[in-house]
Amino acid sequence: MRIAIVTETYPPEINGVALTVQSLAQGLRGRGHAVQLIRPRQPGAAAAAEDDVEVSGAAIPRYPGLRFGWPARRRLERLWRAQRPDAIYVATEGPLGHSALRAARRLGIAASTGFHTRFDDFARFYGVGWLTPLVFAWLRHFHAHSAATLVPTQELADFLHERGFGAVRLLRRAVDTHLFDPARRREALRLAWGLTDDELAVVYVGRIAPEKNLELNVRAFRALQQKRPDARYIWIGDGPARAELARANPDFIFCGTLRGEELAAHFASCDLFLFASLSETFGNVTLEAMASGVATVAFDYGAAREHIVDGVNGRRIACGDADAFVDASVELAVDAARRQAYAQAARNAVMTLSPQSVTDHFAELLASLRSAA
């Protein structure tokens, strides 16, 4: 098939959506499909592939390094009239994505969309919670114009069905268990953090931003630190809250944004992953921690609901129960045997989540929409 993928985020930007879209695009190309990637031009990025199309964009306020694309309906119509794709996937709900849906509709091409981010949830973390119902109404309007809305969990599919979304289809996420592997643990990294093998490295991976419930992460770490004064908190990522967090917690270790083998080595060199966020649609980092053999504490939704069995391969805490989250974090910090048992069971639980199987399912979904058009 010839497939057009429209996205407003893509590496070198680092976030779950960008990396998921990259994995899908690379997987499809690896399976012999012709993929045309349409995305905003990114300053300093490597040259685009031959079939890719770069459009104008602008920086997202308060998120350095992230961009959105300006509308490009007429350009996309010309492009797709000249070389018509069999299917179109619109990964993001910004101006570029909306214009791509309009172009697809005018040309009669089946277009699916991805629901990757709960933007309606974000509003309350930035002092504009009154916008939440308006943002959700926009998301429903946006996805109503697609042939199918693809989501990563059954929980999210049910949530959207109940709120008037039409054709919602499940496309599960994968994790590269060859990249994220406990064998990548590095003694030299731990020594650089001031830790021996017996001491405790707690890790945070993701955007360092208000919507990530950072206060609870810090609270849980300070509580476990009372029992494990040798513990160090390793922060991987960047975002608008990093500077303030670093000023308030000078003992935290900030590693910046990491990718690929460097990220995998940092993950595997840690012992406990605390994921207090309640604003994810999935949370790829949960799978990466599990694959890396790192015991995880997370709330009961998204990737954790799909893949963590509480008390078997990690701790899955009732949503919003901050006290239970802290208690579970302390419990695992002081119980090395349980932490190690969860880590091994977590690794085993995600071994079948291959990127290849997700790519094949994605291609099948797009083909079925083409047939139904």
Sign (positive or negative) of CA dihedral 222, 224, 227, 231 = negative
> Alpha-carbon distance 193 to 189, whole Å?
6
For every residue of 69-107, DSSP letters joined together read EPP-HHHHHHHHHHS--SEEEE---SHHHHHHHHHHHHH
pLDDT of amino acid 61: 67
pLDDT at 371: 64
**Least confident range of 86-90, 151-155, 213-217, 220-224:** 151-155
Q: Any idea of the CA torsion for 339, 345, 346, 352, to the nearest 10 degrees?
A: 170
The pLDDT confidence band at residue 138, using thresholds 50, 70 and 90, is confident
> At residue 47, does pLDDT exceed 80?
no
272: which DSSP letter? E
Q: ∠373-7-241 over CA atoms, to 5°?
A: 140
Average pLDDT for 266-276: 98
Q: Is 48 helix (H, G, I), strand (E, B) or coil?
A: coil
Write the pLDDT tens digit of every residue in 281-296: 788 999 999 999 999 9
Which helix (H) or strand (E) element contains residue 16? Answer: helix 16-30
Q: Which amino acid is at 138?
A: W
Q: Cα dist. 323→234, 326, 329 in Å?
A: 22, 5, 10
Lowest mean pLDDT among 12-16, 122-126, 132-136, 315-319: 122-126
132: confidence class by pLDDT, cuts 50, 70, 90: low
Residue 286: per-residue pLDDT? 96
Dihedral angle of Cα 327, 328, 331, 333, to the nearest 10 degrees: -110
Lowest mean pLDDT among 114-128, 186-200, 330-344: 114-128
Q: Please report the pLDDT score of residue 113 as a whole number.
A: 94
Pairing of strands 67-69, 57-59: antiparallel
Paired tokens of 186: 């590095």
Q: Is residue 24 over pLDDT 90?
A: yes
pLDDT at residue 373 in the model: 57
Q: To the nearest whole number, what is the mean pLDDT of the chain?
A: 90
Of the two residues 151 and 50, the one the predictor is more confident about is 151
* pLDDT greater than 80 at residue 73: yes
Name the band, by pLDDT with cuts 50, 70 and 90, for residue 307: very high
pLDDT of residue 45: 66
Do the strands 272-275 and 295-299 form a parallel or antiparallel pair, or are they unpaired?
parallel
**pLDDT tier at 370 (50, 70, 90 boundaries)?**
confident
The model's pLDDT over 141-198, given as tens digits with 9 standing for 90+, comes to 888 889 999 998 888 888 888 888 889 998 988 899 999 999 999 999 999 999 999 9
pLDDT at 253 over 70: yes
The pLDDT score that the predictor gives to residue 261 is 96
Angle of helix 214-227 relative to helix 322-334, nearest 10 degrees, comes to: 40
Torsion angle of the four alpha carbons 105, 106, 110, 114, in this order, in degrees rounded to the nearest 10? -40
In the chain the domains, ranked by start, together with CATH numbers, are 2-174+354-372 (3.40.50.2000), 182-349 (3.40.50.2000)
Q: Is the pLDDT of residue 64 over 90?
A: no
